[in-house]
Amino acid sequence: MATTECTQVDVAVLGAGPSGMAAAIHAAEAGVDVALIDEHPQAGGAIWRGLANASGSRRQTLLRDYPDGGAMLDRLGAAKLRRIHAATVWEVTRDRVIFYSQAGVARQLAARRIILANGALERPMPFPGWTMPGVLTAGAAQIMLKTSGITPPGPVVMAGSGPLVLLVAAQLLEAGQPPEAIIDTTPRGNWKRALRHLPVQSSARQILAKGLKLKRDLRRAGIPVYRGATDLEALGDETVSGVRFRHRTHMTTLNCSTLLVHCGVVPNTQISRAIGLDHVWDETGQFWRPHVDDMQRSSVAGILIAGDGGGIAGAEAAVHSGRIAAMAALDGLADVSETAFDHERKALARHKAIRPFLDTFYAPAAEFQRPGNDTIVCRCEEVTAGQIRQLVRQGCHDPNAVKSLGRAGMGPCQGRYCGQTVSRLVAEVRNEPVSDVGYFRLRPPIKPVTLGELASLTPDEARNDG
Amino acid sequence: MELDATNTPKTVRLSFEGTAIEAPAGATVAAALLAADIIAFGTRPVSGLPRGAFCMMGTCFECMVEIDGIANRQACLETVQEGQNIRRMPPRIPTKGQGDGDD
């Protein structure tokens, strides 16, 4: 029979991507009692997904793109800590109790410190037709490739902007199913604005060189790129059959069975919001992020933020912010080396140096930030931009009022794919900055939980675990 | 479609709406359905239009299916199992303006 009493640990790390793994390893190696909780069956996060159980040539391919992942997984395997996989966290309290479900049974875990390492999710990209089956995110295709070696049904067309578009296109090419075309929606004026942020550090130059090589590979493969495309629209009766867009002066239509879309990533703030941590609007990155100080501490004592969940900086930076968060978490629990701390801080700054350039260069197009009235914004409840604007004009002056009256953000995804757009639309109609408009107030459970799972929290000798 | 010819994984057999499909062991249910060209996983609650996998990382909840009789499973978070029985879920509410709704 499963027990449901509350387990106690020193440090609980939520999320087993690069930052969570780095934080958990660091804390465990310092000798404290650590639990690492993740929703997926294997550690690795989005970036090292599939690596833990890949073998043969797929492992080789994955390791070539993400060489650090292998060593990190080995080190995690050797570390003495509690690993809790395939666990869905649905509540975290301010006094640091974590509620999660695993195989249909709810459990709780109390921690002296919590490190949130929730990573990123793809920025909402509303455009006409984006709710049709067959429209997937670029990240979704990458996850399929990494975990299963499966490519989405072809012909595939990609649309949007950001480094991931290039990377996934190259990975599809290597998998033998290159995209038919890339519809590049990066606004034409972005590069000029980005130039002044052009970084000089060698680590940043390496990233730029990697991007240019990807572009070259795709050009050599003969994949057409429609630059500066606008007015993107997915076509189809029930599932996607094509895509239409404006390129230069005329409209172009391409056939496809899968349309992969992407316009950058944003921090996954679901848990940090539900706890009630302070959040700030990041104007450069165009996203909400939890407030963190230079030791990755949030606004609530004992809760720290690591990795992209605290602001987008990429996998390499995430490893360092993870270690910094672990060091800050260990304060009062174990000895922390000042030298090691300085080393991590410098490394983090180095990896972050390219962000202003990338964020400005790939700033998403206005049509995805403030979509047309007929475009669905809330996918779960099918609420359009026009309905939201109307609600704001009728007196819904903040996202929560829009949610209460218009149902936007009330579906199972709980605003993950509409929250940012709703904030923007309220800001647009009210002519206020997004930072003043705020965001949905999120309440637990942050993921759907069954009554059976809730009931399993009650100690009950008679309960039949099956 | 298989990426990896030199590292052929074991195949798992499952069914979707009673039709047999095959998938590489270790694949997620959502990836297995897409690999079998099954794109519509269910219907949207308001319009009744089809919905399908979108994010593949457990955040959008649009790939929810019934697996072995249990509703609301996120197909992108479940690993394929031999003999698994996958079904679309009935619509949450009947389609508006239609007396009998969808079934």
pLDDT band for position A463 (cuts 50, 70, 90): very low
Return the pLDDT at A118.
96
Return the pLDDT at B91.
74
Find, in chain B, the residue whose alpha carbon is nearest to that of A174: B3
User: What is the identity of the amino acid at A46?
Assistant: A
- Domains in chain B, start-ordered, CATH in brackets? 11-87 (3.10.20.440)
Strands A82-84 and A34-37, sheet pairing: parallel
Give the pLDDT confidence of A432-448 residue by residue, as tens digits. 999 999 999 998 888 88
Average pLDDT of the residues in A134-162 = 94
Enter the tokens of residue B76.
């992108």
The residue count of chain B comes to 103
Q: Is the pLDDT of residue A31 over 80?
A: yes
Could you tell me if A39 and A102 are in contact, meaning their C-beta atoms sit under 8 angstroms apart? no
Give the span between the Cα atoms of A274 and A445, in whole angstroms: 8
Q: Is the pLDDT of residue A314 over 80?
A: yes
Nearest to B2 among A149, A153, A381 (CB): A149
- Domains in chain A, start-ordered, CATH in brackets? 7-121+266-336 (3.50.50.60), 124-263 (3.50.50.60), 370-437 (1.10.10.1100)
Q: Is the pLDDT of residue B7 over 70?
A: no
Please list every residue in chain A whose beta carbon sits closer than 8 Å to the beta carbon of residue B37: 153
Enter the tokens of residue A41.
């069956």
pLDDT band for position B95 (cuts 50, 70, 90): very low
DSSP A304: E
**Which segment of A1-15, A360-374, A383-397 scores lowest on mean pLDDT?**
A1-15
CB hemisphere CA count around A56 (13 angstroms): 8
- What is the pTM (predicted TM-score) of this model? 0.92
Average pLDDT of the residues in A182-192 = 94
Return the pLDDT at A84.
96
Return the pLDDT at A55.
77
pLDDT band for position A5 (cuts 50, 70, 90): low
Return the pLDDT at A247.
97
Give the span between the Cα atoms of A410 and A229, in whole angstroms: 32
Could you tell me if B80 and A437 are in contact, meaning their C-beta atoms sit under 8 angstroms apart? no
Enter the tokens of residue A130.
């984006």
CA distance A343 to chain B (A): 33
Give the span between the Cα atoms of A259 and A242, in whole angstroms: 8
Q: How far is CA A433 from CA A53, A57, A398, A422, in A?
A: 46, 50, 12, 13
Return the pLDDT at B88.
94
Q: Does B77 touch chain A (CB under 8 A)?
A: yes
- Which helix (H) or strand (E) segment holds residue A363: the answer is none
Please list the alpha-helical segments (H only) found in A14-86: 18-29, 56-65, 68-78
pLDDT band for position A121 (cuts 50, 70, 90): very high
pLDDT band for position A243 (cuts 50, 70, 90): very high
Residue A100: strand, helix, or coil: strand
Return the pLDDT at B101.
36
Q: Is the pLDDT of residue A2 over 60?
A: no
- Rg (chain B; Cα; Å): 15
Please list every residue in chain B whose beta carbon sits closer than 8 Å to the beta carbon of residue A46: 57
Contact A382 B39 (CB under 8 A): no
The pair phi, psi for residue A160, each rounded to 5°, is: 135, -155
Q: How far is CA B30 from CA A66, A171, B35, B54, in A?
A: 24, 20, 9, 10
- Among B74, B82, B78, which Cα is nearest to B53's? B74
pLDDT band for position B93 (cuts 50, 70, 90): low
